[in-house]
Structure 1
């Protein structure tokens, strides 16, 4: 009986101890655009990204399911999933990294700029990247926004020659999430 009570108390303390410094969202908003002027826009949005921030260490991780990206045109979404990203073979994109200089005591109601360095994994390939992030406290938690560019060649994403002049290899990515 005492062993069970001790184990239960230990388990509860461990769970609460580890969760104290974690902020999370499952509704992170990721948008990307690979449009070329004078052609139809190539952009999509995923509002179901999971992002976890360890506020004690500044470590951050994100996961987005590829099939969660929505396009204005259904055929474009189909081509994106089947021909470019091959979402059945590579169903997710992940990022694991660290926010340099992050400390909750310096985060306020106005944006503060940070640098985030980590590994982006997409289409079965990994690349170390450093991206800018703006972070502030809100009534709901900690808001993180970031805008950066990646090159599709870095992730072996093949753009067919037939449409290569209509789709940019430079992909602009925007992230906006509130971690609670």
Structure 2
């Protein structure tokens, strides 16, 4: 009888817990300084899951999936700065505060807090996000900045003046209901 109760409890939680996800989320960064070659890249394979019951959100991306305009920049990024062989992924786990899927009629702003892990180092992130619900999809957009030194990313002095002190991260996710 006890095991039947546990199974029913587990099933009821999974039935009422709506999750939205994507495997094709867009994450971009810009670390450009005016008058120099643009330092920017885009990753279109960010995996994201959102629990609409409690606003918990998690994302994962592979570092070597960032695409640059110049192949040499991409090589330097992976080998010299991000050490993507040793640290192949970045993650974010956090919460969209006061999230209520039923309140999203048009675009709505939400505060997101969580932990960004890059190169094995955790950094607390606080940002605002725009959330839009259209049909069966949720669109989530946000921009925030981080500093390379927060993740022990060493910028050689020869290129230090060509890379911004703060890197602008832009996320753009279209999440579909997980069935």
Task: Identify whether the pair has TM-score above 0.5, normalized to the shorter chain.
Answer: yes
Aligned partner of 1:44 among 41, 45, 58 = 41
1:54 to 47, 51, 57: 51
Alignment correspondent of 1:150: 146
Does residue 96 in structure 1 map to residue 93 in structure 2? yes
Change (3 A) 1:59 1:161: same
Q: Is the 8 A contact 1:35 1:42 kept in 2?
A: yes
Task: Work out the CA distance in 2 between the residues paired with 1:133 and 1:16.
Answer: 27
SS at match of 1:161: coil
C-alpha deviation, 1:14, in angstroms:
3.2
Trace 1:9-48 onto structure 2 (pairs within 5 A). Answer: 14=11, 17=14, 20-48=17-45
Instruction: Return the offset for 1:139.
Output: 3.0
Equivalenced residue count is 171
Unaligned runs of 5+ in 2: none
Residue 4 of structure 1 is matched in structure 2 by none
Matched residues in 1 for 2:16 and 2:66: separation?
29
CA root-mean-square deviation: 1.9
CA distance in 2, matches of 1:148, 1:17: 32
Once superposed, which parts of structure 1, at least 4 consecutive aligned residues long, lie more than 4 Å away?
none
Moved more, 67-76 or 139-148: 139-148
Q: Specify the alignment match of 2:123 in structure 1.
A: 127
The corresponding residue for 1:173 is 169
Structure 1: state its 5+ residue gaps. Answer: 1-6
TM-score (norm 1): 0.89
Q: 1:35 to 1:14 in 2, by over 3 A?
A: same
Structure 2 counterpart SS, 1:44: strand
Q: Which one is further off, 53-62 or 123-132? A: 123-132
Q: 2:67 aligns with which of 56, 60, 70?
A: 70
Whole-angstrom distance in 2 between the partners of 1:128 and 1:85? 19
Deviation per CA, 1:64-105: give whole Å up to 9, x if none: 100110000000000000000000010001000000110111
